[in-house]
Amino acid sequence: MKIAGIELKNPTILASGIMGTTGAALARMSRNGAGAVVTKSIGPVPNKGHNNPSMVELECGYINAMGLPNPSYSGFCEEIGIAKSKTDAPLIASIFGGDAAEFTEVANGLLSSKPDCFELNVSCPHAEGYGASVGTDPDLVHEITASVVDAVDVPVWVKLTPNVTDITSIGRAAESAGASAVVAINTVRGMAIDIHSGYPILGNRFGGLSGPAVKPVAVKCVYDLYEALDIPVIGVGGITCPQDAIEMILAGASAVEIGSAVHDDTQIFETISKGIDTYLQKYGYSKTEDITGLSHEMI
Amino acid sequence: MRPIHSKITEITEESPNVRTFFFDTQFNEATPGQFVMVWVHGTDEVPMTLSGKNSITVQKVGDATSRMFELGIGDHMGLRGPFGRGFTIPRNDENVLFIAGGVGAAPIAPLADIVKARGIEGRTILGSRCCDEILFRERFACGRVDITTDDGSEGRGGFVTDQLAETDTSDYDRIYVCGPEIMMYKVFEILKARDGHVKTEFSLHRYFKCGIGVCGACSMDPEGLCVCRDGPVFNGGELEGSEFGHYERDSSGCKCRF
């Protein structure tokens, strides 16, 4: 299936920040059935991220504040090369920067490793000066997206934060700047406190919530973006089973990204893509595209 | 799981730089070699292999462990776990060999406890830098114990690998190894030359962020196995042709050669 400029092996994609540190890990997720894989977010300089605890499982999902750890674009080209040599699944490079110039520097720096697509991280909720710090401003998102689209010859996706009043205004900014797709959503800003010691659990004090708790938020964002935009929407947030993925597709997702569910099932991609196929057959559809956004036609 | 608020009930000074902390939290279901994430409030969270059902044995090496050394009985830490894959428990009819260097004796000691309790014959090569730093020698007394010290202050002067080179390993059904990675890799090379690496299990150390096999910070080349979830204990056969003994990654993901 061709979605947003790239040929996916199936509609499930490894989300950024999960098992994306090395080429070998990305290839492993492809072997586990991912239709495409997204790297961890890569920035301009090596960064060790926040102190631990950086990811903790809660009663309703996961909370994390990794802090964008990465070896920089120059340190990561080799890993993309390894991933691409070990798998034929498309490789999407997630990148971040503090402004359009930094984003473009990182994209240019990774071009030699030939990623199939870029995903702009303007949505990480816990990295000061990066991520959602720039992704809540439509003008900045437009400027960053336009700059990267202009610099590279592969599709550019923009991953959006749900931590805004109106996600469609950010989506429209990305679309008008030439994005091939938007990805919704990144984690929802959150916090957990240890009631016995009184300490916030995360090393960064607050972070982003993922997992089952955020799925209804993600479905609503995807639904709204599908209605507001002409470019494809990639759905992500709390998908743990085929039913979750189908719900997201019915809301308007052309494909889905899967993140923290890898914890419970490392074969989750295969499980979900097979489940989608079974659903399509059961209800008489021939391809995923036939049900994308179908719920909009019901009312 | 959220960290379990755990009270320090006892502290044992094992050597000038190594202490065992006992907690009021018991990990009864843990197998030897499994670890817990230890949250030192306000400082950091680090992985520590359990040295007992309710204890960790800590060498003072960085911010988190230095802060731990300032804590006393009655103070608290947060514990999550047990996580990862531990050692294979030997059958009662198997001969086992333990090879431990420095604080690497801590993850193996619970296995030695089981071996001793079951009356299994277990031999140990126990190395340290000097006589003051020999760890858990009494827990390894399930058979012959060969002590090596780098400075020759007790036992055989030199490294565990010197002792291993002179040891016939053909009679052992299982060999368990933990210590600095360079030491473990030299052990791996000696045993591989004898085709003994496939009956050997190594407990590895890598930088962990999530500790639950999601973030990928501890992924090993070339298979992308997570040390925190697929390990930290690996069979020698699984480590053939891997990054083991060659490099690891720091907190930013940059490769660091040993």
In the predicted model, what is the mean pLDDT of chain B?
Answer: 96
Of B15, B50, B83, the residue that ends a domain is B83
**What does the pLDDT average to over B105-130?**
95
A262 contacts in chain B (CB < 8 Å): 213-214
**What does the pLDDT average to over B178-197?**
97
Same domain, B243 and B137: yes
Same domain, B101 and B73: no
What pLDDT does A98 receive? 92
Of B83, B109, B139, the residue that ends a domain is B83
Known binding residue B178? Answer is no
Q: Could you say which of A25, A29, A49 has the minimum Cβ distance to residue B251? A: A49
Q: Which residues contact B79 (CB under 8 A, 6 or more apart)?
A: B3, B4, B6, B23, B25, B27, B36, B37, B38, B39
Same domain, B139 and B78: no
**Omega before A53 within 30 of 0, i.e. cis:** yes
State the architecture of A2-297 in CATH terms.
Answer: Alpha-Beta Barrel (3.20)
Same domain, B78 and B154: no
Q: Mutate which of B2, B38, B83 to test chain A, going by most A C-beta atoms within 10 A?
A: B2
Q: Could you tell me the CATH number of the domain that includes residue B102? A: 3.40.50.80
Same domain, B102 and B213: yes
A124 labelled catalytic: yes
Q: For residue A56, give how far its alpha carbon lies from the nearest alpha carbon of chain B (Å).
A: 7
B221 contacts in chain A (CB < 8 Å): 22, 24, 82
**What does the pLDDT average to over B58-68?**
95
Q: What is the residue-level pLDDT of chain A in tens, covering all 299 positions?
A: 898 889 998 999 999 999 999 999 999 999 999 999 999 999 999 999 999 999 999 999 999 999 999 999 999 999 999 999 999 899 999 999 999 999 999 999 999 999 999 999 998 777 778 877 788 899 999 999 999 999 999 999 999 999 999 999 999 999 999 999 999 999 999 999 999 999 999 999 999 999 999 999 999 999 999 999 999 999 999 999 999 999 999 999 999 999 999 999 989 999 999 999 999 999 999 999 999 999 999 98
Question: Cα separation of A160 and A237, whole Å?
Answer: 11
What pLDDT does B138 receive? 94
Residues, chain B: 258
Considering only the C-alpha atoms of chain A, give the largest distance between any 2 of them, rounded to a whole number of Å.
Answer: 55
Question: Cα separation of A94 and A76, whole Å?
Answer: 11
Q: Could you tell me the CATH number of the domain that includes residue B67? A: 2.40.30.10
Question: Cα separation of B235 and B220, whole Å?
Answer: 14
Q: Mutate which of A26, A40, A52, A195 to test chain B, going by most B C-beta atoms within 10 A?
A: A52
B237 inside domain: yes
Number of A–B residue contacts, CB under 8 Å? 132
Q: For residue B131, give how far its alpha carbon lies from the nearest alpha carbon of chain A (Å).
A: 35
Q: Which residues contact B216 (CB under 8 A, 6 or more apart)?
A: A18, A19, A20, A21, A22, A25, A40, B224, B226
Please judge whether A55 and B37 are an interchain contact, meaning their C-beta atoms are less than 8 angstroms apart.
Answer: no
What pLDDT does B142 receive? 87
**B20 falls in which pLDDT band (50, 70, 90)?**
very high
Q: What is the 3-state secondary structure (H, E, C) of A197-255?
A: CCCECECCEEEEEECHHHHHHHHHHHHHHHHHCCCCEEEECCCCCHHHHHHHHHHCEEE
Q: Pick the catalytic residue: A117, A124, A221, A241? A: A124
Same domain, B66 and B147: no
Residues annotated in a binding site of A for substrate? 40, 64-68, 121, 186-187
Please judge whether B216 and A20 are an interchain contact, meaning their C-beta atoms are less than 8 angstroms apart.
Answer: yes
- How many structural domains are present in chain B? 2
Please judge whether B210 and A54 are an interchain contact, meaning their C-beta atoms are less than 8 angstroms apart.
Answer: yes
Please judge whether A25 and B216 are an interchain contact, meaning their C-beta atoms are less than 8 angstroms apart.
Answer: yes
Q: For residue A78, give how far its alpha carbon lies from the nearest alpha carbon of chain B (Å).
A: 11
Residue type, A179: A
B89 inside domain: no
Residue type, B89: I
Known binding residue B254? Answer is no
Domain ranges for chain A: 2-297
Residues 90-149 of B with CB under 8 A from A: none
pTM: 0.94
Neighbour tally for B128: CB within 10 Å: 28
Q: Is A76 on the interface with B (CB under 8 A)?
A: yes
Bridge partners of A37, per DSSP, are A14, A91
B182 inside domain: yes
Task: Please report the ipTM that was assigned to this predicted complex.
Answer: 0.92
B240 inside domain: yes
Please judge whether B41 and A76 are an interchain contact, meaning their C-beta atoms are less than 8 angstroms apart.
Answer: no
Question: Cα separation of A122 and A253, whole Å?
Answer: 19
Same domain, B72 and B107: no
Q: Is B253 on the interface with A (CB under 8 A)?
A: yes
Q: Are A295 and A223 in contact (CB under 8 A)?
A: yes
Q: How far is CA A154 from the centre of its chain?
A: 17
B88 inside domain: no
B91 inside domain: no
Domain with B21, as residue range(s), is 4-83
Please name the residue of chain B whose CA is at the shortest distance from the CA of residue A262: B214
Q: For residue A249, give how far its alpha carbon lies from the nearest alpha carbon of chain B (Å).
A: 24
Up-side HSE of residue B70: CA atoms within 13 Å toward CB?
8
Q: Are A18 and A55 in contact (CB under 8 A)?
A: no
Q: For residue B14, give how far its alpha carbon lies from the nearest alpha carbon of chain A (Å).
A: 27
Same domain, B158 and B207: yes
Please judge whether B251 and A48 are an interchain contact, meaning their C-beta atoms are less than 8 angstroms apart.
Answer: yes
Of B59, B83, B107, the residue that ends a domain is B83
Question: Cα separation of A48 and A26, whole Å?
Answer: 20
What pLDDT does B105 receive? 97
Q: Is A85 on the interface with B (CB under 8 A)?
A: no
Considering only the C-alpha atoms of chain B, give the largest distance between any 2 of them, rounded to a whole number of Å.
Answer: 50
Q: Mutate which of A19, A22, A79 to test chain B, going by most B C-beta atoms within 10 A?
A: A22
Residues annotated in a binding site of A? 16, 40-41, 64-68, 121, 159, 185-187, 211, 237-238, 259-260
Please judge whether A70 and B253 are an interchain contact, meaning their C-beta atoms are less than 8 angstroms apart.
Answer: yes
Question: Cα separation of A222 and A13, whole Å?
Answer: 16
**What does the pLDDT average to over B236-246?**
97
B181 inside domain: yes
Q: Considering only CA atoms, which of B5, B86, B97, B1 is closest in space to residue B49?
A: B86
